[in-house]
Amino acid sequence: MQGNAGRAAAGPEIWLRGPVGEAEAPPQEPEPLATAGARRFSWVATHGGAGSTTLAAVFGGHDAGRNWPRPEHGEPGSVLLVGRTHAAGLDAVSHTLDIFRRGDAPPGLDLDAIVLVADAPGRLPRQLVQRVKVIGSVVDVHRVPWVPAWRTGDLTGPPPRESAALARLTGRTP
């Protein structure tokens, strides 16, 4: 056995015997889920007025604006692309999604989802709903409804309940 003393902590023996001795460290409390492995996101606007600044303020994360995040500078490489639900917004989302599809996005970035912010109260016209479905066939899409308070700059309330899945994704509970 003396020849194996140097290998006691390595190799399959540890799995067969388990921990031995009284020098074990006492068990520690696990970190809360909110901080242990909470994923950080960069909100990237696909066009002006998309809402990335508002979403970053409400849900947390890095507002990259219309720029690509720079992971080499500590900015999160997990990307949430943001666009409005009007025709021009969906065009911009589709164009930026195509950049990821072609592999032309900067290295180190991962597209996690598309976040579509309502451009007006009420239901979307059928042709826009169809375009959202096409985008959703390629990547997860989260819809954020029209929030009148956000229009006047009041971001103090909880996220809208219709965006509960997005709140879970970003770690912000509704």
The DSSP symbol for 138 reads T
Where residue 134 falls (left for φ over 0; alpha for ψ -120 to 50; beta otherwise) is: alpha
CA distance 39 to 56: 14
Percent helix / strand / coil, the chain, rounded to 5: 35, 15, 50
Instruction: List the chain domain ranges.
Output: 42-170
> Could you read off the pLDDT of 114-149 as tens digits, one per residue?
999 999 999 999 999 999 999 999 999 999 999 999
> Could you read off the pLDDT of 19-76 as tens digits, one per residue?
444 444 444 443 333 344 457 899 999 999 999 999 999 999 999 999 999 999 999 9
CA distance 83 to 136: 13
pTM of the model: 0.77
